[in-house]
Structure 1
């Protein structure tokens, strides 16, 4: 009997794939299958003006679960800034109002993990001014010495897969960044579909994917903090953040975008070997 080599190779790849999947055990997930507020044992909401000179005021009301999804909704609405100080040069204090609201939900102090496969299925809003993200921060240390991993970040027409750690300068990181314009996916319907973002992270490397396409691979022997070369921020537990910013340092101009804007998350899961 003649054996087709291509058939044998395809079977071997299938077996390898099954074996790889069998290594992973689900250790935590949120399927968002209960309507109402996000599960308080998993998530808490960031509040106010938080980072990156963003336009939105983060508030709890803009995140809710409905029909098996976590919906993070950015709205164009006026909200008073209770921290306003007339004449202040601090970006968090100088604006009497915010013109947009949104939500950022984080697992800090509730759920954290060191190593594993982190996975999210979601549909993101890719219109002008939108800045959705799925990312992690290390439990210990000041940014960026605590380490940041951007499993998914989007702004200005581009998907990003990043990691950042400490340099010799305060609040200035060393970045490993890979960018891919959405237009390069050659799918005019890409932005209207759900996609799977994944991180495979162990003591040796971080690998970031979208729909099984490897975006970025980071060697953890190269990510020790410059100020303290004995500390590697990616060899400690990290917590998870999901949120959508508006404008700010990178988000772009939202002035011609019709609101509300939605970031819809089907699930967030963490597997470990």
Structure 2
């Protein structure tokens, strides 16, 4: 083989390798991949600039859960440059539900000091069993609490079932990636949890630029188990034989819907930045043919 051809092949190989490596820092505009034995039943690539598609997504608003700091509002979620961008911002918002001397955390704060967004597919896109793939880049700054999760459409929480495909927050002060499944007990609002907690340091030890890159969080859910992955690494397996509510029902043989949100404070800790970003490149859901 001539030397010039060998050099050309080597250059092409280098360029291909560079493209593969550089792509982890950028949105992926390629079409959803074909998966043998499965069909794509719904996806959102977030490739159109503007607000999230109202045919797929609805907003949570106000103070919602966990005594978090943020006021959820639509303004903080926008599709831009190939991603869904959710921003957590330090800004003062007057609480229209404020009641002086109230003991309810949702009403006893006169102002919210932070804003963010939470969007969900409830009533619009719901499904039972299948594979969920979400490519996202998370901000690992103190105070950041991003999540990719699902909830069941029947019964109150936690008997409706919760699947945390991804959560990131501080566990006893340690930055942690979580992959969890929860269901009901005989006590109201008390869940039974199957949790996987992996310190962020484990991923940073392998790749110091981990937090700068997009990653793929995946759930494989069938009649036997829920399996949660990060970049094809299995983080947690929950057999459905164990996910039985106190009343004998199993929430994970019922439909679930998807939520994408960026919480601030709470388990995330006191925010260390006035602006925290959470970027979701795409959501893809497959089911067996």
TM-score scaled to structure 1, two decimals? 0.90
Match of 1:219 in 2: 239
Please show how residues 1-273 of structure 1 align to structure 2 within 5 Å.
21-156=35-170, 157-185=175-203, 186=205, 187-226=207-246, 228-229=247-248, 231-248=249-266, 250-254=267-271, 257-273=272-288
Match of 1:61, SS state, is: helix
SS of aligned partner of 2:201? helix
TM-aligned CA deviation for residue 188 of structure 1: 1.3
Equivalence for 2:26: none
- Count of residues paired in the alignment: 249
* Contact 1:56/1:246 (<8 A) preserved: yes
Shift of 1:259: 2.3
Deviation at 1:258, TM superposition (A): 2.0
CA distance in 2, matches of 1:69, 1:259: 21
Residues 74, 100 of structure 1: 8 Å contact kept: yes
Misfit runs of 4+, over 3 Å: none
The equivalent residue for 1:13 is none
What TM-score, normalized by structure 2, do the two folds share? 0.85
- Alpha carbons 1:122, 1:195 under 8 Å: kept: yes
Deviation at 1:44, TM superposition (A): 0.8
Output the CA distance in 2 between the equivalents of 1:111 and 1:117: 14
| Alpha-carbon distance in structure 2 between the residues aligned to 1:215 and 1:270 | 19
Q: The residue matched to 1:21 in structure 2 has which SS? A: coil
Structure 2 unaligned spans of 5+: 1-33
Aligned to 2:251, what secondary structure does the other structure show?
coil
Q: What CA distance in whole angstroms lies between the structure 2 residues aligned with 1:183 and 1:189? A: 12
Q: What SS class does the counterpart of residue 234 from structure 1 fall into?
A: helix
How far apart are the structure 2 equivalents of 1:260 and 1:44?
23
Q: CA RMSD in A?
A: 0.9
CA distance in 1, matches of 2:201, 2:167: 16
- Kindly state the Cα deviation for residue 198 of structure 1 after the two structures are TM-superposed: 0.1
Whether the 8 Å contact between 1:78 and 1:100 is mirrored in structure 2 is yes
Between the aligned partners of 1:260 and 1:25, the Cα distance in structure 2 is 38
TM-superposition CA deviations, 1:202-239 (whole Å, max 9, x none): 0110000000000000000110102x01x100110000
Unaligned runs of 5+ in 1: 1-19
Q: Deviations over 1:66-117 (max 9, x none)?
A: 0110001100000000000000000100000000000000001110010000
In 2, the alpha carbon distance for the partners of 1:25 and 1:152 equals 23
Query: Residue 138 of structure 1: CA displacement?
Result: 0.1
SS in structure 1 at match of 2:241: helix
CA deviation after TM superposition for structure 1 residue 132, in Å: 0.1
